[in-house]
Structures are given as structure tokens and as C-alpha cells.
A = this chain, B = another copy of it.
């Protein structure tokens, strides 16, 4: 096992990931491309060992997770990611093979999502691996969707399935046991979120407000409602669950809590005017994505979210799962 110096790591493993305006990472900075007729969306999320991922997690998946938690933010605003900058805090015990595996993960997702690395920084991080990604996306002019545009009557729509990652974390820590195939699927959802890239177009065209679901569906819904000064009703029966999640919930209703408040979904929660709901869902469908109506905005009370359980509305003191 060997460990090269910082500049060798940059030239060998990181430079091949760089975009055309980044001088093969031999300069102090880079030029940031401005996509034609688009606004630039910028976001920055960091993940740290022991806080957002576990020490034994596969390093290529950790790299991809670091990218994907940012991709979901860009997509939720109606944008398509095209570039990112990375500050990489490297633990003292890393060797060349660790750096190589980590960068393989970055390369894999750069292909899938069509992005390049603008630059960044590597530094010693004795406290453990830390990855801070700043990501850039292009969104059609004036189509950026904030959390602030929801109004009474809008329909609540989520992408994908909810709760798999939160259940997967319980599998990872040993708190939850189930059939092996189900465990594998849930673990993968936790380790490797799958943000719905093509949904960006639906959001840009049809959403009134939108956000990514990273801290738990109910808490994030409340944040959207607070930002828009509206209230919402979520129909629990309508929340899209994967087959493993369904089976687990049937066995133990208490696990609804993980699904509703657990976090790490990295799907999109959008509000859409009733007239545009069909267009939103069909466009998602054309891109092989599932978008599901889970409730509506009722406008009654600022920031409040109620959960409809089999026809009974329960006021939820939605606790946001915080990584802090």
C-alpha cells in the first residue's frame, strides 16, 4: 500500500475528471461555463464520515452519494447539473487505492449525469473523510422554482418512492431485519440515492413550488408550507412505497415514522396547479419516472401540515430529521 502526495493525486486521479475550462486542475481557479439562455443554479451540500455515512461504506458509493445529494437540490429547482467543485478532506489512513476507488465513483456519476469537475481543494482531515460539493446547474430563464410559490388548491406531488433510505439506515445499523433481498434494496437506497434527473423539466414547466426531500417528507413539506405561507394535507395512503417498504410497514406500523420523518430520500416534493397535474405526471412518465399525488395545499394556516390516516386528519408536529 502506498500513498502519493497531494499534487500526484490531483494529476493522476482528479485531473481526468476536469472540464475544458479547468486547465487540468493546474491553475488556481477555473472559468465557469454559463449555459446559453439559462440561469445558473448553485447549491452546496457536505457529507462527513460518521455523520452522513458510515466508516465502512464503499468509497465509490460515498463519492456518488456526495454528488447525488447535490443533484437532487438542482433537479428540485428545475435545473440540470453540469459542473461541480469539490473540497475533499482526506483521512490520514487513505492510500492510493482509496483515492482511486473514490474517483472511480465520481467518474461513474459524471458519465450518468453528464457533469465535469471545475476544481476544488484537497486537504488533510484527521477527523475523517469529508466531502463538500458545490454544484452548478442550468435552468431555463426565469424557471427556477423556489419553495415560495405554493398556493391554496395546488396538488402535492412526490417523485419516486418515499422511506426506503430511512429503512435502509435501520438495516445498516442492525435495528431492522427483513428478507435478504429486501434488505439489499433498502441498503442500496440508503447508500446510493437516485435523484430523478429528468424530473427537472416537469418542475421547470409545471411546478408552482418545489424542494428536494432530504430531511423527511413531513418536515420538508412543512418547510415548503412555511416558505409559501400555506398549509397542506398529506394522504398517508397515497404515499408511494416500494414493495419492500410496504411489506415492512405491514409487519410493523410503527415504522411509518421512519418513512414520514426519516430523511435521505433525495426525491422531489412539488406543488402543481390542478390544471397542470396531468401534464406533470405524463411528462414524468415519458421520462420513465413515477410522480404521485399525495395531497393538496389548503391555504388555511401558515406552515401547518396534517396527515390524513384512513380519512382521519391528524395534525403533525413534523419533526425534521436533522443531520446537525
**Residue pair B5, A46 in contact (C-beta under 8 Å):** no
- Stretch of A130-138, A183-191, A251-259 on the interface side: A130-138
- Stretch of A25-33, A101-109, A160-168 on the interface side: A25-33
**Residue pair B124, A324 in contact (C-beta under 8 Å):** yes
How far in angstroms is the closest Cβ of chain B from A115? Answer: 14
When chains A and B are docked, how far (Å) is the Cα of A90 from the Cα of B46?
12
Binary interface profile of A, 121-132, with partner B (CB < 8 Å = 1, else 0)? Answer: 111111110101
- Stretch of A141-149, A172-180, A237-245, A294-302 on the interface side: A141-149
CB neighbours of A6 from chain B (8 A): 322, 324
Copies of this chain assembled into the complex: 2
**Residue pair B48, A124 in contact (C-beta under 8 Å):** yes
Q: Is A150 an interface residue (CB 8 A)?
A: no
Binary interface profile of A, 41-73, with partner B (CB < 8 Å = 1, else 0)? Answer: 111111110111000000000000000000001
**Residue pair A123, B324 in contact (C-beta under 8 Å):** yes
**Residue pair A87, B87 in contact (C-beta under 8 Å):** yes
Measured CB to CB, the nearest residue on chain B to A77 is: B29
Q: Is A261 an interface residue (CB 8 A)?
A: no
With A40-B34, A41-B30, A124-B48 already in contact, the answer to whether A5 and B132 are too (CB < 8 A) is: no
With A28-B73, A32-B136, A51-B124 already in contact, the answer to whether A118 and B42 are too (CB < 8 A) is: yes
Q: Is A233 an interface residue (CB 8 A)?
A: no
Out of B7, B47, B79, B87, name the residue touching A44 (CB < 8 Å).
Answer: B87
CB neighbours of A130 from chain B (8 A): 89, 125, 127, 130
CB neighbours of A218 from chain B (8 A): none
Q: Is A272 an interface residue (CB 8 A)?
A: no
CB neighbours of A48 from chain B (8 A): 89, 123-125
**Residue pair A28, B76 in contact (C-beta under 8 Å):** yes
CB neighbours of A128 from chain B (8 A): 126-127
**Residue pair A42, B32 in contact (C-beta under 8 Å):** yes
Q: Is A227 an interface residue (CB 8 A)?
A: yes
When chains A and B are docked, how far (Å) is the Cα of A124 from the Cα of B48?
8
**Residue pair B146, A23 in contact (C-beta under 8 Å):** yes
When chains A and B are docked, how far (Å) is the Cα of A288 from the Cα of B270?
53
**Residue pair A5, B89 in contact (C-beta under 8 Å):** no
Q: Which 3 A-B pairs have the closest CB atoms?
A: A127-B127, A6-B324, A87-B132
Ordered by A's residue number, 13 sampled pairs between the chains whose C-beta atoms are within 8 Å are: A23-B147, A23-B148, A27-B77, A29-B79, A42-B119, A46-B121, A46-B132, A47-B123, A51-B123, A87-B134, A126-B128, A127-B128, A134-B134
